[in-house]
Amino acid sequence: MAILELEQIAVGYGRFHVIEDVSLSLHEGEFLSIIGPNGAGKTTLIGAMSGALAPSGGRILFEQKDVTRWAADKRARAGIGRSYQKTHLFPNLTARANVQLAVQARRGVRLRQVLSRVAQEIQAEATEGLRQVGLEGHADLSAAALSHGDKRKLELAMLLALQPKVLLLDEPTAGMSLAEAPAILDLIAGLKASGRYSLVLVEHKLEVVMRLSDRVAVMHQGALLTHGTPAEVMANPEVERAYLGTAHGRANYGQ
Ligand SMILES: Nc1ncnc2c1ncn2[C@@H]1O[C@H](COP(=O)(O)OP(=O)(O)OP(=O)(O)O)[C@@H](O)[C@H]1O
Ligand SMILES: [Mg+2]
């Protein structure tokens, strides 16, 4: 069954139309990747799914409810969690405090409760969240002091603390070194294996996409070029054409 459905979505920035007529479903428990050359509209599509961008046409359904007009925070509370292409942390707070804020946001904790027993529960949950991404040893470092790879892990811990049903991951390995990328990819593979999430991954590293995904959607110039199993997409000559001149430039672990 579909957990998230886009029906003929159009999205733009002001009068600048980026995405036209995209229909795409994410099934429960599925791992769907979105690929396409730079500027194809992948991040814009993620923005429409998360509620960061209001579509100018079409409908978005989450668990069969029409959420097209729901703002991002309402969608996040309902279970649509989103990571960003660029890091999004509170740099002066410790790693643990960053995760605590996410736990508090989910639980809707009031200040008075933060001073009580609830505070210990929140702290324990934050510590567990850090352990989940392998950052338990860095809990007391400020987010700013973490390596780029560890910052991305911390963001993932914050995202998971919101207990989302759908995870929207926009280039989680962007800007990572060759040495850093495998750890976060293993984490993402683990999220898939847990069976607790439906995932949408935007990623330029095609070998990763093909290994992890149940289905791959290919964006090109704001439209959905094709979607199918990794094998179907790889065998499609149109996909190769869309990528010519750009895929090789991005087929490394840099930006
Ligand atoms: N804030 C913005 N205002 C105006 N135009 C934008 C904005 N963000 C993106 N665009 C334009 O929308 C189009 C799609 O951009 P988008 O960021 O969705 O592409 P992408 O597929 O995520 O690319 P990349 O692989 O480089 O991340 C591009 O032409 C881009 O220049
Ligand atoms: Mg992008």
Mean residue pLDDT of the chain comes to 90
pLDDT at 153 over 60: yes
Per the structure, the count of domains in the chain is: 2
Q: Are residues 61 and 114 in the same domain?
A: no
Q: Are residues 177 and 75 in the same domain?
A: yes
Count of beta carbons in the 10 Å neighbourhood of residue 90: 13
DSSP E strand stretches across the chain: 2-13, 16-27, 31-35, 57-62, 65-66, 80-82, 166-170, 198-202, 215-220, 223-228
More confident residue, 171 or 250: 171
Which amino acid residue places its CA nearest to atom 16 of ligand 1?
A: 41
Q: Are residues 144 and 28 in the same domain?
A: no
Which amino acid residue places its CA nearest to atom 9 of ligand 1?
A: 44
Q: Are residues 132 and 8 in the same domain?
A: no
Residue 84 lies in a domain: no
Q: Are residues 62 and 43 in the same domain?
A: yes
Residue 249 lies in a domain: yes
Query: Which pLDDT band holds residue 155 (cuts at 50, 70, 90)?
Result: very high
Residue 252 lies in a domain: yes
Query: Which pLDDT band holds residue 126 (cuts at 50, 70, 90)?
Result: very high
Ligand 2 centroid, distance to 39 Cα (angstroms): 7
pLDDT at 214 over 60: yes
* Domain limits for position 114: 89-163
How confident is the model at residue 253, as a pLDDT? Answer: 32
Q: Are residues 139 and 183 in the same domain?
A: no
| Portion of the chain with pLDDT greater than 70, in percent | 92
- CA neighbours closer than 13 Å in the CB half-sphere of residue 84: 9
Residue 60 lies in a domain: yes
Residues 6+ apart with CB under 8 A from 152: 87, 172, 173, 176, 184
With a 6 A CB cut-off, is 16 part of the ligand 1 pocket? yes
Domain boundary among 163, 182, 204: 163
With a 6 A CB cut-off, is 36 part of the ligand 1 pocket? yes
Q: Which two tokens stand for residue 65?
A: 């409810």
Domain boundary among 127, 143, 163: 163
Ligand 1 centroid, distance to 13 Cα (angstroms): 9
The CA distance from 45 to 187, in Å, is: 24
Ligand 2 centroid, distance to 238 Cα (angstroms): 21
